[in-house]
């Protein structure tokens, strides 16, 4: 990228601005109206006591509203107030301190993450969602955070579920779910402008304008950001420019509630070629529509319809590939309430993704280059009280997918919970779920290295005969809450059969190359403890201490003696975070997050039997000082992140040929609310 803001980026900004003007022109009556709808969520997330805060309704476990305190699942909620005070630049910054979640950077915008599993840059056994819509890559199966179409100012809260979500969300949620819930348009009336200036030539700007009447509201968001990334103490910089515009509508028509979201983003980023190490500019464009409609029947039952459509075009320079993808999906739900404590929900899903990958070089290719991936599913969930305060939940989901030859897999689950007192709750859960093969594991062929002794390239090949990974987990947890304390503890054990890795014994030698194949040949067992203690002795101060213990053992299914020693898991054994937030009388707030991560092993291009790439334990400290001016209209924040942490966090050379050292960031954010 030769220019800081090239003509193409300017065009995309202009396009978003025109969209902004068109919306105001089409809805002049809305912009003159006042929002008279009441919304407790906005107030609750920022001003209520600790006990009231965790009586909030969450939706990500069963897709229906439940109280956080009495939901039988391992959950962590990042509120809007947490986001405002954190000074986070990107979504992964918010996940650093969450128990059971690991996040590492290979460079500024390439992030590896995991929930109760290996921390991997491309693959993931957890499911990322925005307002309940899946946003993972249909090629790699992993969350690509730079492609998320929700900016930080748009997010109301983030609900992180740890443990299998297979019976509710299906395969690819075998270790957890991260649901990003954006602000309702009714809660976004008015205009907010926000700008950030930081080191590494980082500049961001956001404008949000919301308008509405009592029954209809709309909010428009335009966001742009650019930076040089980490430079690794060299002359090379990896410039990054992204433009995003989105439009969200919320409305009430009688018993019908409607949400619709239309979005577009453009990304241009410098990428280092895997073989030549030359820097070239890659492009990524995406258009999307997402809708959510609830219809309340006369008897109190609810019908829900969620359609989505996404079209993307990616020009990827590290591997010389172009990706064209078009996805359509729809989910239908029927929710019946038998009594105040008993309910049943039936769900159906259908999605279709048309994928075309064109390889321009010799590094990688796909067979077939064009593929249509179909997913079909049906599921149910039922909650039944047994005696007072004791509930039993059962559910199951059946689904089929193209990469498993259209065979059906079944994900049953059961949960039992007991509210001992109003302030003490215990629960247990067991679930079976599946992780479906990704398209890389199914149909790819990629050069991942070169042996200087044999003078042959190492190639990894996909396998069209893969089975889904089968996971079973068991969990037990309890929550205890007072006016100033909240204790939340979870213990779990899980087993995975047929985990997919590259099999080094399955070799095919050709002139100048040795190929290995993805295979189901590893079984794993894991267990862990997750603990969160929130302490709020008075309204102006609160503190959170989070602790994670994670252990995982991998074993070859057969012919163990031929493989050698398996490398340790790609995740730290221990992680500890301490978060402090304080409000001062002169309208100043301070946020600090200190996180320590135990030493661990980085993901390795050469597989799990290669010599481990050990990463040292490290501290990370993020701090924000925030002051409010002009009767709460102007907010100025000075933030720093990655203090004490300036070493490598991840060395997965297949994705980033020259991983970069993490660099501390200092940035100033100014927000004005009209």
Q: Is the peptide bond preceding residue 366 cis, with omega within 30 degrees of 0?
A: no
Question: 86 φ, ψ to 5°?
Answer: -70, -25
Q: DSSP string covering 558-623, please?
A: S-GGGT-PPPPPSS-SEEEEEEEEEEETTTEEEEEEEEEE--EEE--TT-TTSPPEEE--EEEEEE
Residues forming a β-bridge with 497: 470
Residues in the chain with pLDDT values less than 70:
1-55, 231-237, 653-659
DSSP state at residue 145 = G
DSSP 3-state assignment of 151? coil
Under 8 Å between Cβ of 585 and 603: no
Residue 112: the pLDDT is: 83
| Residue pointed to by tokens 């029947």 | 297
The pTM of the full predicted model, rounded to 2 decimals, is 0.90
Residue 34: the pLDDT is: 39
Residue 16: the pLDDT is: 53
106 Cβ contact partners less than 8 Å away, ≥ 6 residues apart: 112, 121, 649, 650, 651, 652, 655, 656, 659, 660
Residue 25: the pLDDT is: 46
Q: Which two three-digit tokens encode residue 4? A: 């800081």
Residue 236: the pLDDT is: 60
Question: How many angstroms separate the CA atoms of 612 and 553, rounded?
Answer: 15
Question: How many angstroms separate the CA atoms of 670 and 193, rounded?
Answer: 8
Residue 115: the pLDDT is: 93
Q: Which two three-digit tokens encode residue 614? A: 């050990």
Under 8 Å between Cβ of 187 and 155: no
Under 8 Å between Cβ of 600 and 615: yes
DSSP 3-state assignment of 652? coil
Measured distance between the N- and C-terminal CA atoms of the chain, rounded to whole angstroms: 36
CB-hemisphere CA count at 13 Å for 536?
20
Q: Which two three-digit tokens encode residue 481? A: 């809450």
Residue 629: the pLDDT is: 92
Question: How many angstroms separate the CA atoms of 436 and 161, rounded?
Answer: 19
Question: How many angstroms separate the CA atoms of 406 and 409, rounded?
Answer: 9
Q: DSSP string covering 477-502, please?
A: EEEEE-SSEEEEEEEEEEEEEEEEEE
66-67 and 57-58 strand pairing = antiparallel
> Nearest Cα to 76, choosing from 58, 63, 51?
58
Residue 513: the pLDDT is: 86
Question: How many angstroms separate the CA atoms of 488 and 366, rounded?
Answer: 46
Residues forming a β-bridge with 397: 379, 411
> Nearest Cα to 319, choosing from 6, 655, 667, 665?
655
Question: How many angstroms separate the CA atoms of 391 and 400, rounded?
Answer: 31
> Nearest Cα to 108, choosing from 614, 579, 668, 649?
649
| Residue pointed to by tokens 């649901």 | 179
DSSP state at residue 299 = T
Per residue in 12-25, pLDDT tens?
554 454 445 445 44
| Residue pointed to by tokens 């070239």 | 280
Residue 213: the pLDDT is: 94
Residue 45: the pLDDT is: 38
600-602 and 613-615 strand pairing = antiparallel
Under 8 Å between Cβ of 471 and 432: yes
């Amino acid at each position: 990228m030769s220019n800081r803001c090239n003509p193409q980026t300017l065009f995309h900004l202009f396009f978003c601005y025109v969209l902004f003007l068109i919306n105001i022109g089409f809805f002049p009556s809305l912009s003159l109206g006042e929002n008279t709808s009441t919304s407790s969520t906005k107030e609750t997330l920022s001003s209520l006591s600790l006990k009231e805060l965790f009586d909030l309704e969450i939706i990500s476990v069963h897709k229906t509203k439940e109280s956080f305190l009495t939901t039988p699942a391992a959950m962590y909620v990042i509120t809007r107030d947490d986001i405002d005070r954190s000074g986070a630049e990107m979504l992964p910054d918010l996940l650093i301190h969450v128990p059971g979640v690991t996040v590492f950077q290979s460079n500024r915008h390439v992030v590896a993450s995991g929930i109760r599993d290996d921390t991997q840059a491309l693959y993931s056994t957890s499911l990322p969602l925005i307002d309940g819509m899946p946003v993972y890559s249909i090629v790699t199966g992993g969350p690509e955070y730079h492609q998320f179409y929700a900016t930080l100012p748009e997010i109301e809260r983030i609900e992180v579920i740890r443990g299998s979500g297979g019976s509710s969300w299906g395969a690819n949620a075998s270790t957890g779910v991260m649901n990003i819930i954006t602000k309702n348009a009714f809660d976004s009336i008015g205009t907010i402008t926000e700008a950030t200036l930081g080191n590494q030539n980082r500049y961001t700007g956001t404008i949000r304008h919301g308008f509405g009447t009592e029954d209809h509201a709309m909010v428009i968001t335009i966001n742009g950001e650019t930076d040089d990334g980490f430079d690794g103490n060299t002359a090379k910089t990896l410039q990054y420019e992204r433009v995003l515009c989105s439009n969200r509508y919320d409305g009430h028509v009688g018993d019908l509630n409607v949400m619709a979201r239309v979005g577009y983003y453009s990304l241009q980023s410098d990428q280092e070629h895997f073989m030549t190490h030359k820097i070239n500019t890659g492009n990524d464009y995406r258009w999307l529509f997402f809708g959510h409609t609830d219809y309340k029947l006369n008897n109190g039952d609810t019908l829900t319809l969620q359609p989505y459509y996404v079209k993307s075009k990616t020009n990827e320079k590290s591997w010389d590939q172009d990706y064209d993808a078009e996805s359509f999906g729809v989910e239908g739900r029927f929710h019946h309430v038998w009594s105040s404590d008993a309910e049943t929900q039936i769900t159906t899903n259908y999605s279709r993704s048309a994928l075309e990958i064109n390889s321009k070089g010799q590094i990688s290719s796909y067979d077939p280059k064009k593929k249509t991936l179909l997913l079909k599913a049906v599921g149910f969930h039922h909650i039944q009280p047994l005696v007072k305060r004791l509930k039993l939940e059962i559910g199951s989901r059946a689904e089929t997918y193209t990469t498993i030859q259209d065979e059906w897999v079944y994900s049953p689950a059961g949960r039992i919970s007991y509210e001992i007192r109003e302030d003490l709750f215990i629960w247990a859960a067991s679930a079976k779920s599946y992780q479906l093969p990704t398209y890389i594991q199914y149909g790819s062929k990629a050069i991942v290295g070169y042996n200087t002794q044999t003078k042959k390239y190492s190639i990894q090949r996909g396998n069209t005969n893969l089975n889904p990974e089968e996971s079973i987990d068991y969990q037990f947890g309890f929550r205890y809450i007072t006016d100033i304390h909240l204790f939340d503890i979870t213990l779990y054990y899980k087993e995975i059969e047929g985990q997919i890795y590259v099999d080094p014994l399955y070799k095919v030698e050709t002139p100048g190359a040795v190929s290995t194949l993805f295979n189901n040949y590893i079984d794993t067992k894991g267990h862990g403890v997750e603990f969160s203690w929130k302490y709020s002795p008075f309204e102006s101060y609160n503190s959170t201490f989070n602790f994670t213990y994670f252990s995982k053992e991998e074993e070859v299914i057969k012919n163990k003696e031929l493989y050698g020693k398996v490398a340790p898991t790609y995740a730290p054994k221990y992680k500890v975070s301490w978060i402090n937030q304080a409000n001062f009388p002169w309208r100043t707030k301070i946020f600090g997050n200190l996180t320590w991560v135990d030493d661990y092993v980085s993901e390795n291009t050469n597989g799990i039997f290669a010599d481990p790439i050990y990463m040292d334990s490290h501290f990370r400290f993020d701090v924000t000082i925030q002051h409010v001016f002009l009767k709460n209209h102007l907010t100025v924040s000075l933030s720093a992140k990655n203090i004490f942490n300036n070493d490598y966090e991840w060395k997965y050379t297949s994705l980033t040929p020259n991983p970069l050292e993490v660099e501390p960031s200092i940035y100033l954010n100014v927000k004005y609310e009209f």
